[in-house]
């Protein structure tokens, strides 16, 4: 379906009916429960979704377990890689459908969805197929020990049945970020998308069938977290590993659940990311890059910047320039290419963000820009719109400076010295990402090396190389994925030691 502009309603007109995808087929849930998925642009119902019961999860896991030793377990790495390339090609062919589904679920903007997030999902299948082909074989180790001479052959084996639990903010990018390497390594999967965004992972089932992925290798169970599908999956005794992206609190619950059965875990969690702007930066570039890092996807990217530290001599000028960027953003129909501000994911999430607006007010913040609900018209007035919001004047202990808001917000603090900027940046329980803006590359690298986060961008933001390690320090996660790090998580390593007398 080609994307259209303003004439097209914010959502698809008729709600889709979504079933779980188990053993290669869309099947009605074994339980009777369904739930609604809504488009946050106008709060209309876009899908009626089966909530997977414990019996559905059991069936999905058994099917994934059986598929491990079926045809999928017998094909070569090269054949698996070729199938992953076919998956990528089919996603590209159906990009407009995937984009349409993603926009219906999230209210995301048409441009970044159709030209950015969906193609990146496809690309992840190609890239991880090639990474596995290059990195699966490990170098032999010759040894001469008092017990004799031997040759050691370390080899990778699939880890088994992987549970993949995903958030709503980048549904297709973040599910395929895990699905692609898991399949490349020969595993089978049970994927639980966020209850807010069930569509794209579910649509991917048909692509898997068409690409020749055997039944049972890729399964999707839709539903909620605690007390529902997500918890059934985490507790399932036949899961070997859980890869999770979402809130830190949820990650802690999943980690506790994973202890039972000694399931391996990879946790990509929340952030409260700092940006440090030095007076010697390229000012226009720093303002534009910082605006993107604060407001992109309405601030709903774990890597978004919510704390800004600006060298005092340019503080007022920088605040004014960022305010101008915030106020230029235009809410509207996400399918209209002229719209530049998408909504938050839901009315419920907007309530949470509005609570933070109140907390900032109660703590005495100066509201430089925003602070309320963004004005829209027509059907969009029912949507989860919010104003991009900039605060100054708060203490570093204020709630909105400490806690992840996950909205289009930032607090800006002046600093005078490098040490002060680094101390501010590190004064957080989180440690996911940071940006440093400076014309002095030696200084920028010196600062970057002192910040306790998993990724530091110097004079840029969100430049993603899929071969580089990705993950967080402190409460932002456990483990690294990306490139060969994904191979380490999605495989077990066996050492075959051959005695040579």
Give the interface with ligand NAD as residue ranges (CB under 6 A). Answer: 165-169, 174, 192, 194-195, 224-226, 230-231, 234, 245-247, 250, 253-254, 268-271, 302, 404, 406, 432, 472, 476-477
Considering the complex, state which of residue 231 and residue 412 has its C-beta at the smaller distance from ligand NAD. Answer: 231
Q: Which of ligand NAD, ligand 6OD, none binds 464 (CB below 5-8 Å, type-dependent)?
A: ligand 6OD
Considering the complex, state which of residue 90 and residue 301 has its C-beta at the smaller distance from ligand NAD. Answer: 301
Q: Residues with Cβ < 8 Å from 348, sequence gap 6 or more?
A: none
Q: Which of ligand 6OD, ligand NAD, none binds 485 (CB below 5-8 Å, type-dependent)?
A: none
SS3 of the chain: helix, strand, coil, percent, to 5: 40, 25, 35
Question: Closest approach of Cβ 233 to ligand NAD, in Å?
Answer: 7
Considering the complex, state which of residue 270 and residue 334 has its C-beta at the smaller distance from ligand NAD. Answer: 270
* Under 8 Å between Cβ of 487 and 135: yes
Q: Which of ligand NAD, ligand 6OD, none binds 283 (CB below 5-8 Å, type-dependent)?
A: none
Considering the complex, state which of residue 56 and residue 336 has its C-beta at the smaller distance from ligand NAD. Answer: 56
Question: Closest approach of Cβ 124 to ligand 6OD, in Å?
Answer: 8
Question: Closest approach of Cβ 303 to ligand 6OD, in Å?
Answer: 5
Question: Closest approach of Cβ 354 to ligand 6OD, in Å?
Answer: 21
* Under 8 Å between Cβ of 244 and 225: no
Considering the complex, state which of residue 169 and residue 392 has its C-beta at the smaller distance from ligand 6OD. Answer: 169
Q: Which of ligand 6OD, ligand NAD, none binds 247 (CB below 5-8 Å, type-dependent)?
A: ligand NAD
Q: Give dist(CA 455, CA 470) in Å, integer.
A: 7
Considering the complex, state which of residue 107 and residue 186 has its C-beta at the smaller distance from ligand NAD. Answer: 107
Question: Closest approach of Cβ 193 to ligand NAD, in Å?
Answer: 6
Q: For residue 31, which phi and psi values (nearest 5 degrees)? A: -95, 170
Considering the complex, state which of residue 72 and residue 177 has its C-beta at the smaller distance from ligand 6OD. Answer: 177
Q: Which of ligand NAD, ligand 6OD, none binds 432 (CB below 5-8 Å, type-dependent)?
A: ligand NAD
Residue with tokens 């991009």, as numbered in its chain: 388
Question: Closest approach of Cβ 163 to ligand 6OD, in Å?
Answer: 17
Clarify whether 93 is annotated catalytic.
no
302: left (phi over 0), alpha (psi -120 to 50) or beta: alpha
For 206, the token pair is: 């048909």
CA trace torsion 305, 306, 312, 318 (10° rounding) = 70
Q: How far apart are the first and last CA of the chain?
A: 67
Clarify whether 268 is annotated catalytic.
yes
The residue number with the shortest CB distance to ligand NAD is 225
Q: Give dist(CA 341, CA 114) in Å, integer.
A: 16
Q: Give dist(CA 62, CA 64) in Å, integer.
A: 5
The residue number with the shortest CB distance to ligand 6OD is 302
Query: How does 294-308 read in b/e, with b if 16+ C-beta sit within 10 Å?
Result: bbbbbbbbbbbbbbb
3-class secondary-structure state, position 187 = coil
Question: Closest approach of Cβ 40 to ligand 6OD, in Å?
Answer: 16
Question: Closest approach of Cβ 248 to ligand NAD, in Å?
Answer: 7
For 343, the token pair is: 């909504």
CA-based nearest residue to 364, from 393, 399, 404, 390: 393
Residue 163: CA count within 13 A, CB half-sphere: 32
Q: Which of ligand NAD, ligand 6OD, none binds 177 (CB below 5-8 Å, type-dependent)?
A: ligand 6OD
Considering the complex, state which of residue 136 and residue 470 has its C-beta at the smaller distance from ligand 6OD. Answer: 470
Return residues touching ligand 6OD (CB under 6 A).
169-170, 174, 177, 268, 301-303, 464, 470
Sign of the C-alpha dihedral computed for residues 445, 402, 169 and 181 taken in this order: positive
Compute CA 408 distance to the chain's CA centroid, rounded to the nearest angstrom. Answer: 17
For 480, the token pair is: 């690294």
Helices and strands (H, E) in the chain, number of each type:
17, 23
Burial (CB count <10 Å: 0-12, 13-18, 19+), residue 21: buried
Q: Which of ligand 6OD, ligand NAD, none binds 194 (CB below 5-8 Å, type-dependent)?
A: ligand NAD
The residue annotated as part of the active site, out of 298, 302, 304, 410, is: 302
* Under 8 Å between Cβ of 211 and 218: no
The residue annotated as part of the active site, out of 268, 311, 404, 481, is: 268
Q: Which of ligand NAD, ligand 6OD, none binds 253 (CB below 5-8 Å, type-dependent)?
A: ligand NAD
The residues assigned a catalytic role are: 268, 302
């Amino acid at each position: 379906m080609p994307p259209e502009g303003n004439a097209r309603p914010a959502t698809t007109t008729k709600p889709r009916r979504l079933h779980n995808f188990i053993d290669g087929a869309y099947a009605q849930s074994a339980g009777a429960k369904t739930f609604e998925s809504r488009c946050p642009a106008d709060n209309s119902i876009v899908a009626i979704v089966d909530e997977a019961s414990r019996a559905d999860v059991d069936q999905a896991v058994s099917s994934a377990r059986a598929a491990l030793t079926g045809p999928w377990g017998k094909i070569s790495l090269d054949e698996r890689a070729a199938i992953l390339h076919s998956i990528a090609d089919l996603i590209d062919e159906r990009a407009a459908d995937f984009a349409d589904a993603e926009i219906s679920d999230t209210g995301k903007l048409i441009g970044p969805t159709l030209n950015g997030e969906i193609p990146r999902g496809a690309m992840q299948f190609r890239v991880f197929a090639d990474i596995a082909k290059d990195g699966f074989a490990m170098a032999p180790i010759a040894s001469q020990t008092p017990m004799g001479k031997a040759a050691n052959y370390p080899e990778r084996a699939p880890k088994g049945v992987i549970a993949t639990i995903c958030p709503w903010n980048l549904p297709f990018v973040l599910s395929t970020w895990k699905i692609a390497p898991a399949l490349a390594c020969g595993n089978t999967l049970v994927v639980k998308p966020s209850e807010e965004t069930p569509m794209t992972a579910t649509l991917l089932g048909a692509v898997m069938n068409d690409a020749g992925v055997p039944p049972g290798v890729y399964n999707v169970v839709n539903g909620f977290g605690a007390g529902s599908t997500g918890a059934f999956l985490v507790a399932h005794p036949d899961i070997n590993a859980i890869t999770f992206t979402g809130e830190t609190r949820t990650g802690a619950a999943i980690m506790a659940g994973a202890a039972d059965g000694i399931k391996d875990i990879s946790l990509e969690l929340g952030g409260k990311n700092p940006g440090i702007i030095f007076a010697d930066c390229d000012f226009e570039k720093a303002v534009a890059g910082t605006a993107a890092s604060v407001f992109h996807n309405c601030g709903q990217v774990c890597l978004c910047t919510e704390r800004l530290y600006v060298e005092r001599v340019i503080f007022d000028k920088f605040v004014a320039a960022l305010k101008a960027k915030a106020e230029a953003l235009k809410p509207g129909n996400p399918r209209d290419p002229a719209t530049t501000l998408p909504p938050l994911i839901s009315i419920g999430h907007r309530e949470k963000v509005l609570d933070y607006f109140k907390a900032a007010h109660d703590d005495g913040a100066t509201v430089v820009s925003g602070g309320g609900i963004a004005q829209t018209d027509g059907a969009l007035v029912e949507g989860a719109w919010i104003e991009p919001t900039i605060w100054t004047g708060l203490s570093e202990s204020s709630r909105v400076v400490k806690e992840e808001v996950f909205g289009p917000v930032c607090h800006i603090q002046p600093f005078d010295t490098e040490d002060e900027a680094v101390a501010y940046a590190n004064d957080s329980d989180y440690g996911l990402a940071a940006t440093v803006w400076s014309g002095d590359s030696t200084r920028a690298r010196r600062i970057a090396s002192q910040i306790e986060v998993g990724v530091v961008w110097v004079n840029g933001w969100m430049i993603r190389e899929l071969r580089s390690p990705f993950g967080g320090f402190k409460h932002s996660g456990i483990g690294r994925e990306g490139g060969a790090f994904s191979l380490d998580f999605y495989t077990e390593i066996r050492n075959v030691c051959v005695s040579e007398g």
